[in-house]
Copies of this chain bind each other. A is one copy, B any other.
Amino acid sequence: MSGWVVIAGLGPGADALVTPEVTAALAEATDIVGYIPYVARVAPRSGLTLHASDNRVELDRARHALEMAQAGRRVVVVSSGDPGVFAMAAAVYEAVEAGDPVWRRLDIRVLPGITAMLAAAARVGAPLGHDFCAINLSDNLKPWTLIEKRLRLAVEADFAMAFYNPRSKARPEGFGRALALLQETCGDGRPVIFARAVSTPDESINIVPLPDATPDMADMRTVVILGASNTTVINGGLRPMVYTPRSVPVNGSVTG
Residues of A within 8 A of B (CB): 11, 14-21, 24, 58, 82-87, 89-94, 96-97, 101, 104-115, 118-119, 121-123, 125-136, 141-143, 146, 149-150, 153-154, 156-159, 232, 234-239, 241, 243-248, 250, 252, 254
| In the bound complex, CA of A244 to CA of B143 (Å) | 16
Query: Across the interface, which residues of B come within 8 angstroms of A16, CB to CB?
Result: 19-21, 24
Which of A243, A246, A250: most chain B Cβ within 10 A? A246
CA–CA, A237 and B172, complex, Å:
41
Bound: A234/B94 CA distance, A: 9
Are the CB atoms of B125 and A110 closer together than 8 Å? Answer: yes
**Residues of chain B within 8 A of A154, CB atoms compared:** 133, 153, 157
B141 engages A246 (CB within 8 Å): yes
User: B104–A234 contact, CB under 8 A?
Assistant: yes
13 CB-based A-B contacts, threshold 8 Å = A17-B20, A17-B112, A19-B19, A83-B122, A84-B121, A84-B128, A85-B128, A86-B246, A94-B246, A106-B238, A109-B239, A114-B114, A142-B247
